[in-house]
Structure 1
């Protein structure tokens, strides 16, 4: 049993598709099948159930995958720790973003001005919260979202405002009750996005189900559609930016209280490189400049 075979098994187990796994690993499918067959022969246990062209990880395979994940991650952690000890850091941070924010480019640019040797791999996750999560050093998300095995600290609690076209009937108001929008058409991110889950819950608390007229993948598209006068939208006051120009008005929501807390998370059972530690500290300080909505109120 060698490390390469374990890495091949890990990929096949996660994809449950030999063809896709072979493409990802850049080897031929027959060669990959031979490696998996040899591993099963060595273990004297079938790890996959096979039906024609399809394979499915069985209970034995699931148990083995859990151990393989731990073993390979432990070896990777050991490598990173040795490089840090030798003062030859990898200079790479895997940054998992679960909330959209126009702040991230500036934040990373400011950090790299101080630490130009550090590189970033940015991951974005559009699947629902029941899906598997990628390996990362640090994750930015909004509570109460929580990835198993991680620890989190809050960075900022921001107000979620209502963005309306400048000719909207409520555009001259400083604040509104959310229930006043029960008949309006909303523009929102697609289901599965953290902000969408939060704002749907707020509407339900106000006694109605929002009528969605446009659903988008990116915050920038939501903002553009509101600027075009096509509907109203929820608007996180800090992470989505400030003024949207004269064509859009931002209004506070007085009932229910509409806020969300942005957090930074990391795995507690994995080694954190010096580069990741420096970036985590930098992110905490970076967000302090925006204050905290709960304290302001």
Structure 2
């Protein structure tokens, strides 16, 4: 994720190495997303220059929107008009998870989650294979 107007904002996709000179806004080391981001940077041959560490995604996104740096975060739909989600091309820039449901007995909350997941699939082609 980069602030709107950043050099990578119009790139369509980027390699983690494209961010090596950027200030990084990161999650606390307890989070899997932080561990994966650190591993991606290490695989690209650099340690991120961390300027802020936070314990929630909303805070990190807010600081990216304010233009204080870039962040490697999970793809999601909570983007600000002041940020751009730039997909990473690195082969390990992903994580797998599964979601199953009983279509006949799904609660309204489950249906909302399923619809949200389908929407993310449309926004980020190749992000997930949602069937059913």
The TM-score bracket by the shorter chain reads 0.7 to 0.9
Equivalent residue for 2:84?
249
Query: What's the offset of the Cα at 1:263?
Result: 5.6
Structure 1 length as normaliser, TM-score? 0.35
Distance 1:257 1:287, change over 3 A: farther
Structure with greater contact order relative to length (CA < 8 Å, sep ≥ 6)? 2
Question: 1:58-69 alignment to 2 at 5 Å?
Answer: none
SS of 2:37's equivalent in the other structure is helix
SS of 1:214's equivalent in the other structure is strand
- Equivalent position to 1:204, from 42, 52, 73: 42
SS of 1:212's equivalent in the other structure is strand
How far, CA to CA, are the matches of 2:110 and 2:44 in structure 1? Answer: 33
- Mapped pair 1:217 → 2:55: yes
Which digits, 9 at most, give the CA deviation of each residue in 1:145-197, with x for residues without a partner? xxxxxxxxxxxxxxxxxx11123222221111111111111101111112111
Query: What's the offset of the Cα at 1:262?
Result: 4.0
How far, CA to CA, are the matches of 2:2 and 2:129 in structure 1? Answer: 26
Equivalent residue for 1:261?
96
Equivalent residue for 1:177?
15
Equivalent residue for 2:74?
236
Query: What's the offset of the Cα at 1:257?
Result: 4.3
Query: What's the offset of the Cα at 1:285?
Result: 5.5
- Mapped pair 1:295 → 2:129: yes
How far, CA to CA, are the matches of 1:198 and 1:179 in structure 2? Answer: 14
SS of 2:73's equivalent in the other structure is strand
Q: Answer whether contact 2:33 2:73 (CA < 8 A) is retained.
A: no
Query: What's the offset of the Cα at 1:253?
Result: 1.0
How far, CA to CA, are the matches of 1:260 and 1:249 in structure 2? Answer: 20
Distance 1:182 1:256, change over 3 A: farther
Query: What's the offset of the Cα at 1:288?
Result: 3.3
Equivalent residue for 2:102?
none
Structure 2 length as normaliser, TM-score? 0.73
Distance 1:242 1:221, change over 3 A: closer
Aligned length: 115
How far, CA to CA, are the matches of 1:201 and 1:284 in structure 2? Answer: 33
How far, CA to CA, are the matches of 1:243 and 1:224 in structure 2? Answer: 10
Higher strand share: 1
Query: What's the offset of the Cα at 1:234?
Result: 1.6
SS of 2:14's equivalent in the other structure is strand
Query: What's the offset of the Cα at 1:243?
Result: 2.9
Larger radius of gyration: 1
